[in-house]
């Protein structure tokens, strides 16, 4: 399902783990912080998050350097 607007923001805590190549069917994982909690996406390792599925819901990012 595609949506036109983002409805949740998270903070990426480390680089996205994608193996040796980035390909739409390959699984990815990432540590995030949201709502004051730390989590790993996907939360269920038995249901991997595919790169293509992630990109269907990714709207962009904000980067800052101090």
Q: How high is the pLDDT of residue 2? A: 61
- 27 occurs within a structural domain: yes
Structural domain of residue 37, as residue ranges?
11-57
Strand, coil or helix: what is 35?
Answer: coil
**pLDDT surpassing 70 at residue 66:** yes
What is the DSSP code (8-state) at residue 27?
E
Q: 2-41: per-residue pLDDT in tens?
A: 666 777 888 999 999 987 777 888 999 999 999 889 999 9
User: Would you place residue 1 in the very low, low, confident or very high pLDDT band (cuts 50, 70, 90)?
Assistant: low
Q: What is the pLDDT of residue 3?
A: 65
Does residue 61 carry a pLDDT above 80? yes
**1 domain residue, yes or no:** no
Q: Burial code of 9-45, b = ≥16 C-beta within 10 A, e = fewer?
A: eeeeeeeeeeeeeeeeeebbbbeeeeeeeeeebbeee
Q: Is the pLDDT of residue 53 over 70?
A: yes
Among residues 27, 30, 51, which one has the least CA distance to residue 39? 30
64 within some domain: no
Number of structural domains, the chain?
A: 1
């Amino acid at each position: 399902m595609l949506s036109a607007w983002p409805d949740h923001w998270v903070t990426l805590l480390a680089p996205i783990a994608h193996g040796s190549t980035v390909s739409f069917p390959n699984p990815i994982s990432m540590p995030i912080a949201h709502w004051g909690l730390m989590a790993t996406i996907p939360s269920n390792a038995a249901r991997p998050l595919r790169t293509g599925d992630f990109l269907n819901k990714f709207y962009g990012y904000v980067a800052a350097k101090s």
